[in-house]
A and B are shown apart, each in its own frame.
Chain A
Amino acid sequence: MLEGLLIGLQTALSLQNLLMVIGGCLIGTFIGMLPGLGPMSIIAIMIPVAISMGDPSAALILLAGVYYGAIFGGSTSSILLNAPGVAGTVASSFDGYPMARQGKAGKALTIAAIASFAGGTIGALLLMVFAPMLSSVALLFHSAEYFALMVVGLSAIAAFAGTGQVAKAMLMTLLGLIMATVGEGALFNQPRFTMGLMDLQSGFGFITLAMAMFALPEALFLVLKPKDAGSADGEIKDLRITRQEAKSIAPVIGRQSIQGFFIGVLPGAGATIASFLGYAVERNIAPKKEQEEFGKGSIKGLAAPETANNAACTGSFVPLLTLGIPGSGTTAILLGALIALNVTPGPRLMLDEPQVFWAVIMSMFIGNLVLLILNLPLIPYIAKVLSVPRNYLIPFILFFTLMGAYIGQNNATELLLLVGFGIFATILRFADYPLAPLLIGFILGGMLEDNFSRSMQLYDGVSFIWERPMTLGLLVIAILLVILPSYRARRAKMRAQGVADGD
């Protein structure tokens, strides 16, 4: 591990990669602050830039920096304007915004930055410990287990979608998988489902789809319903916190780093759930007197979600780097970028390309440090971006989505596909269909089919399902994951029907 750390440090500390971290964090903070633009959109927009750099470590470092920056920027707008730019920072506005209203905006930002830093750093430490362990287990896996593992991942994403949403998430995942079968697959040199169109020969472009699923609907929502983001009135000053305050948030940060990290590791959970859960847990275990302060500007109530969301972001890299299976929309986009750069994340990544693996982990530490010492003092100036008029902002967002899709494929038909899918995605969002599962399904589709086909060929049929106990076990877990939530909801309803209402 020490050797890996040194390789990583060497790669991450090269001038180019340092600039990538700093640049990524700054860009992420800038854009993440804008209400309505989440990390997925920002990363989707940055991908063409990252891919054209050609160096996988630098690209991944840049994108990871953007990811962290976006979460940090999102908390800034949550605190200052009560307008979270990112779903993962909604919980930060519960106590951050009241603090800002009381004139303690500077203090709130500092607490957010420290909590994010601690969450991210502790998360990265846990990642260093757990990723190699998981990877060595994963090396024992065959294609049959890989197939089963991906099925588990995809069903977990559907299962965590929430009550009444499981079927929708399932359908979206399957739609993503179906879309992945369009075009010429690697396994059979034969175009499928192209309807005779030359433009579909190579399948749908993944950047186009990512833009259409996230960036475009978000921009259209901004047009449809202008968020009345109040102005960030008042100076941001007095960034210091007292020793007393530091002492009271330290245990919160410790607990939430660990809890957030493990929630982040689970597929489909991610930063949003981690931050809400973190907030709820800390409120419940706080002493009675402090409990009343939650929601009115409690520093613990701000530190908890901030720590948890950053730790969860780091945690979500575990399945990506060790198994090559993304658990969230953001990591799915990162996976797509890596595949485009000829790097296949998975257990062999640590053996074959240790510099990529360790450089990413090292750049997490550097990125967190950059956010703390560079972005925090700059925040009063960066916050000025919040006053860019939307008349200029929205055309630019749309332009960047178009550019991203065009540069990726160099094909104007791609732009028409982007608009078409974008409209479709917006309608899906109206009806509360989750969009991340579609993209995750699309990105995993090729690998899922390859592993499935390989196992079918090795075992001359589907007998691999019962001949390999681990595969069978994983598939049973996948089925349980999908069925249990709806079964439990149904049983709860049955029970409720038998009981008279209390009042």
Chain B
Amino acid sequence: MALDRWIALVLLGICLIYGYAAWFTMDDALAPFMRRNPIWPSTFPKVLSVLAIVAALVILLGIEKSEQKIGDIDYRRLGDYKIGQALMLLGLMVAYALLLRPAGFLFSTVGFLVGGSFILGERRWIMMLLVSGIATGIVWYLVQVVLGIFLRPLPGFLVGG
């Protein structure tokens, strides 16, 4: 089974859960006086769930014929691409998300930019540090001072926050 039909299967599952919630569980919490309304919070989701299940089934059962096209990337040969680098970069993004608050903006951002270049194969450390350091400083200044959005620059324990 091709990837697009697998995806349709997963989405069908999501739509079924969504539909179940809309049709069978949501209305229990509805206040009695609301029940006389022609429209309930679950009305629109009910319609959506039915339509989405139909669309997912059309793809899953291959009712709408389509020729297999190979786009920019052929997922059957993922190993041929730099999948390792991509996964490591995604991991780095997750790490950044988790560290942004505790480690402060400046440290985590320099770390992210240096780490990203490193994963992609850059080894000129001084250059990397210089570029990331300057860029981090500029972005922090723009966001904090020009746009006025608070970004804690340093780790919490250094500024007592």
Contact = CB atoms under 8 A, between A and B. Distances in A.
A117 to B, nearest CB: 31
A412 B100 contact: yes
A415 B120 contact: no
A220 B92 CA distance: 13
A224 interface: yes
B126 interface: no
Contacts of A126: none
B93 A431 contact: no
Contacts of B45: 178, 181, 192-193
Given A171-B55, A181-B44, A416-B97, A399 B109 contact: yes
A62 to B, nearest CB: 13
Interface in B23-43: 26, 29, 37-43
Contacts of B48: 174, 177-178, 181
Given A398-B93, A430-B73, A457-B38, A163 B85 contact: no
A130 interface: no
Nearest to A415: B97
A375 to B, nearest CB: 23
Interface string A50-79: 001000000000000000000000000000
Contacts of B18: 178, 193
Contacts of B41: 185, 187-188, 190, 192
A422 B90 CA distance: 9
Chain B's interface size range is 35 or more
Interface residues of A, number: 68
Given A178-B52, A192-B45, A412 B98 contact: yes
Contact of A175 (B52, B58, B97, B115): B52
A335 B56 CA distance: 28
- A399, A407, A452, A460: most-surrounded residue (chain B CB, <10 A): A399
Contact of B44 (A168, A394, A452): A452
B83 interface: yes
Interface in B74-117: 75, 81-83, 85-86, 89-90, 93-94, 96-98, 100-101, 109, 112-113, 115-117
A167 B75 contact: no
Interface in A221-259: 221, 223-226
A164 interface: yes
Contacts, number: 179
Interface string A162-206: 011111101100110110010001011010110000000000000
A289 interface: no
B73 A415 contact: no
A415 B82 contact: no
A404 B113 CA distance: 16
Given A185-B41, A224-B73, A493-B65, A407 B149 contact: yes
Contacts of B73: 221, 224-225, 429-430
Nearest to A164: B66
A453 B8 CA distance: 29
B151 to A, nearest CB: 8
A181 B135 CA distance: 38
Interface of A: 48-49, 52, 163-168, 170-171, 174-175, 177-178, 181, 185, 187-188, 190, 192-193, 220-221, 223-226, 389-392, 394-396, 398-399, 402-403, 406-407, 410, 412, 415-416, 418-419, 422-423, 427-433, 449, 452-453, 456-457, 459-461, 486, 489-490, 493
Interface of B: 2-4, 6-8, 11, 15, 18, 21, 26, 29, 37-45, 48-49, 51-52, 55-56, 58-59, 63-67, 69, 71-73, 75, 81-83, 85-86, 89-90, 93-94, 96-98, 100-101, 109, 112-113, 115-117, 120-122, 131, 135, 139, 143, 147-150
